[in-house]
Amino acid sequence: DSQRFILVLRGFDKTESWTTWTKTIQPLSQRCSYSVIFVDLPGFGRSSGRDLNQASWKRNGPEIIIAILSSFHIENPVNILATCVDPILGGSATTVRTINRYPAWFRDRNLIFTNSVIGDFGESKVGDFEKNLTQFIIHIIVHWFPDEDHTHHCVAYKRWNKLRQSGFRHVKLIDFDPVKQTAQLVCPE
């Protein structure tokens, strides 16, 4: 089956849901022929699970993502658009931990993270994430809104910056400048 999928995992506050993304994703779905799966992870948007134990969700998040993909009978690697405001439970943080456990699901794919605040990469040892990206040809675009607090204090921003400075080719950072923003639709391969 050659059907292409994008899994949209959002991580905004509890007042927003997957519907936030429908205007953005609709042109991508129509113009680039993707099937789009929107997911409100437990505790976000309109999903249940607001009282879930965070440690349990953090530990089992990758299995939930794989269960979602499996329930749609998806056997090919998927593209992901993920956001993250919560460093433990958001879409980007969960995707990073899923890459570390199940990298083959993302083989030769492009992932887009928006403002990803990730407190824990979920690796057995530091550097496993980068090894998985390289071995499975996974590319991530991190579109972020850099500010002094996040850049200085957030683990993910420090790591993204270190990768940018080292020239690591599997992660590209795009610093968002609201004054110079552009609207360009790019279809992932």
pLDDT digits (tens, 9 = 90+) for 49-101: 555 555 566 678 889 889 988 998 887 778 888 776 654 457 788 888 899 99
The pLDDT value recorded for residue 137 is: 94
Q: Which residues pair with 173 in a beta bridge?
A: 142
pLDDT digits (tens, 9 = 90+) for 142-168: 876 656 655 555 555 677 778 878 888
The larger pLDDT score, comparing residue 3 to residue 64, is at 64
Q: 4-180 has which CATH code?
A: 3.40.50.1820
pLDDT category, 42, cuts 50, 70, 90? low
Mean pLDDT of 106-128: 77
The pLDDT value recorded for residue 179 is: 60
What is the average pLDDT score of the chain?
74
Closest to 66 in 3D by CA, of 29, 27, 105 = 105
The answer for residues whose C-beta is within 8 angstroms of residue 75's C-beta and 6 or more apart is: 1
- What residues does each domain of the chain span? 4-180
Three-state DSSP string of 76-120: CCCEEEEECCCCCCCHHHHHHHHHHHCHHHHCCCEEEEECCCCCC
